[in-house]
Amino acid sequence: MSKSRAKKNEEFPLLRKKAEVNLIQRTGKSNSNELEHELSVHEIELQMQNAELHEIQEKLNTALLEYSELFELSPVGYFILDKNGIIEKVNVRASIQLGIDKEQLINKPFSTFLHTERDQDNFYRHMNIAIEEGTLGRMECEIKKKDGAVFFAFIKSKVIKDEKLRFKHLLSMVTDITKLKEHEHQIEIQLAKTEELSIMKSRFIGMASHEFRTPLTSMLSSTTLIGQYAKLGETGKMERHLTRIKSSIKNLVGILDEFLSIEKLESENVEIQRANFDLPGLCEDMMEEVSATKKKGQQIHHSHTGNNEIKEDRKIIQHILLNLLSNACKYSPEEKEIKLLTTVTDYDITITVEDQGIGIPEAEQANIFARFFRAGNTGNIQGTGLGLNIVKRYVELLDGNIEFVSKQNEGTTFRIQLPLKQSLPV
């Protein structure tokens, strides 16, 4: 073998060897003429290189096609930006996210689609850090669509470099996280409600321990005295103390009912069950129910106008009436009149409770429906501060509204208005 042929063999051993084998397979022998042999081998080498290049090109085309499909069909919005944040290319998802055709997005600044100036400033900082440090940047923001709708987005940005490791473009990947944000918000609301309920329970336990003590002490005292009067045969005094025991029991039951109502309302576990019932009849029952809590000489007068029968949730109306009438008796002096007025028209139901009690100080009236609120002039009068809060929430559950007028030392009037529901057929 000549020196030139040996040198070729050293430089391209594998390719040369394949070409030599290929030449022998084609001609059946090696060419004795060195120049002709080299030309033949070189020609075969070129053919083999072209075939290899063609195969690589096919693989490259296939890879580019796969990349293009992945780019276009990705569930994430892809925005290819230049150093100034100008859009060079987007995929289908990006177009859908913004509600704008892909062609109309090209050459537009990406920042113009960010909802607030703060989001725009944050994005430019995010982009500059990604470019300068070459790290994967992350940020959250709000993006506005063509139709004006806004969605929460999570953006990740990565610098893409060329073969010389110079900046080529910035790839920003946008994910719609609106549902995730809504879910987080609902969790925050539930946590806040849970914390509020926990605080409420703690406050209730502290308040209840105080409120329970008085009626329990009264019941214990009356029970002891009844035993003594029984031996002496003084039935009148026994009856008086039995009345005190009944009143104390009603107070305890009322406190427990208020707490149970609050818990149901907080857990949204109150189901509205509307049915036909006689409103004046229910009012009479509630007046009888609170009779044990009335002070000496107090009278409740009821007046009704319109149809007697309504379609509403009887238990809720009962709770509203019981609370308002109990408060009227509790905060009114002896010998005072309490008025209960009910009206049914073709459109609504109105319930009015008017007393001549201590009234609500004007400076405190804005807080009257707040939970645990008790006006400063209530003194030693028992109460949890939950009743009116519960009444208001029950009224709102029935799509109604409640309002009041009050003047200190002159009395208070509560007026509830509920929309009339069509009565059930009898």
Q: Output the pLDDT for position 422.
A: 65
Is pLDDT of 246 > 80? Answer: no
Is the pLDDT reported for residue 80 higher than 80? yes
Q: What are phi and psi of 277, to 5 degrees?
A: -155, 165
Rounded Cα distance between 131 and 140, Å, is 18
The CA distance from 337 to 45, in Å, is 118
Query: Rounded to two decimals, what is the model's pTM?
Result: 0.51
- With a cut of 70, say whether residue 36 has pLDDT above it: no
Q: Predicted confidence band at 193 (pLDDT cuts at 50, 70, 90)?
A: confident
- Say if residue 323 is in the same domain as residue 255: no
60 and 37 belong to one structural domain: yes
- If asked whether residues 365 and 403 sit together in one domain, one would say yes
Alpha carbon separation from 14 to 5, 114, 401 (Å, rounded): 14, 58, 93
Point out the domain boundary residue: 219, 238, 269.
269
Output the CA angle 213-219-224, nearest 5 degrees.
125
**Per-residue pLDDT tens over the stretch 403-414:** 999 999 999 999
Which of 49, 71, 93 delimits the end of a domain? Answer: 71
Is the domain of 31 the same as that of 52? yes
pLDDT score, position 421: 77
121 pLDDT band, cuts 50/70/90, is: very high
313 and 423 inside one domain: yes
What is the mean predicted confidence (pLDDT) over 271-278?
90
**Residues pairing with 169 in the sheet:** 160
- Give me the phi and psi of 14, to 5 degrees please: -70, -50
- Residue-level pLDDT at 8: 46
CATH number at residue 160: 3.30.450.20
Same domain, 48 and 126: no
- 88 in the same domain as 225: no
208 and 349 housed in the same domain? no
**Contacts with 306 (C-beta within 8 Å, 6 or more apart), sequence order:** 343, 344, 345
Top pLDDT among 32 and 83 is at 83
Q: What is the pLDDT of residues 375-425, one digit of tens each?
A: 888 877 777 778 898 899 999 999 999 999 999 999 999 999 999 876 545
**Per-residue pLDDT for 202 more than 90?**
no
| Residues 295 and 416 both lie in one domain | yes
pLDDT above 70: percentage of residues in the chain: 80
Number of domains composing the chain: 4
Query: What value does the mean pLDDT of the chain take?
Result: 82
Identify the CATH number of the domain in which residue 228 sits.
1.10.287.130
Is 90 exceeded by the pLDDT of residue 339?
A: yes
> Using an 8 Å Cβ cutoff, are 319 and 273 in contact?
no
Angle in degrees, CA 120, 122, 125, rounded to 5:
110
User: How far apart (Å, rounded) are the C-alpha atoms in residues 251 and 214?
Assistant: 10
How many Cα atoms within 13 Å fall on the side-chain side of residue 21? Answer: 7
Distance in angstroms (rounded) separating the CA atoms of residues 278 and 426: 13
- The residue with tokens 């408060």 is 327
For 144-174, the pLDDT digits (tens) are 998 889 999 999 999 988 888 888 899 999 9
Say if residue 352 is in the same domain as residue 278. Answer: yes
Residues 303 and 426 placed together within one structural domain of the fold: yes
Domain boundary among 55, 71, 87: 71
Q: What are the residues whose beta carbons fall under 8 Å from the beta carbon of 360, sequence distance 6 or more?
A: 368, 375, 377, 404, 406, 408, 412
pLDDT(27) > 80: no
Q: Is the pLDDT of residue 361 over 80?
A: yes
Domain that holds residue 120: 75-176
Are 228 and 277 members of one domain?
A: no
